[in-house]
Amino acid sequence: MTSVTGTLKTTKGFTLVEVMVTIAIIGLMAVAVTFVVPDQQDDALDDAAEDLYQRIRYAQEYALLRHAVLGLRIDEQGYTFVQWREQQWQPLDFRGLRAQDWPQDVVFELQSENEALLGQDEDAVEAFFAPPEDEATSTEEREAQQPQLWILGSGDISVFTLRLQPFNSLDGQGWVLRSEDGYHLTLQRAEEVQ
């Protein structure tokens, strides 16, 4: 009987083709991830819109429980909740109603109807919210202190539409926060609003 003995050489490692295919797959996955992961600016705008929506709802509950007249003052830097006390608008410093800044490069457009909320003419509204007679503030200062949105002790809110979008947006990106009936709030993507 004859037997043959020998050793088999086993190779360890990868072939050049296997390495190139692996690199190509990793590259495709990296490109796919860049299209799926949203931009940080979009995240900041999304968070700011949702945050404002929740804070306005909280302000409605706060006004309803305390029978308070609240306002929301919005400007280029951010927004501030205020309360009508002692014949003037005073900033609120309660948790959930503190002043907030907008994220970088966010612009807003606001349309509101405050007079319809009170069911009064403009002169009656101005008389009610007039500062004390002894206060020496200019008309410009008083107008700067006036909130654009009001929230009454009944929970009613000004009829308004607030559009938030990135500074460089040309295609209507962003969010629309509004109250069409003076009580319920909606938050929608700007693309979904007609």
pLDDT tens for residues 17-31? 999 999 999 988 888
For the four alpha carbons of 87, 93, 94 and 99, in that order, the dihedral sign comes to positive
CA 6 to chain centre: 75
Give, rounded to a whole angstrom, the gap between the first and last alpha carbons of the chain: 92
Which of left, alpha, beta for 96 (phi over 0: left; psi -120 to 50: alpha)?
A: left
pLDDT of 119: 58
pLDDT of 43: 80
Please list the ranges in the chain whose pLDDT falls under 50. 124
Q: Phi/psi at 156 (nearest 5 deg)? A: -70, 150
**Separation CA 150–CA 157 (nearest Å):** 6
All domains of the chain in start order, with CATH: 40-189 (3.55.40.10)
**Separation CA 17–CA 19 (nearest Å):** 5
| Contact of 71 with 60, CB cutoff 8 Å | no
pLDDT of 55: 94
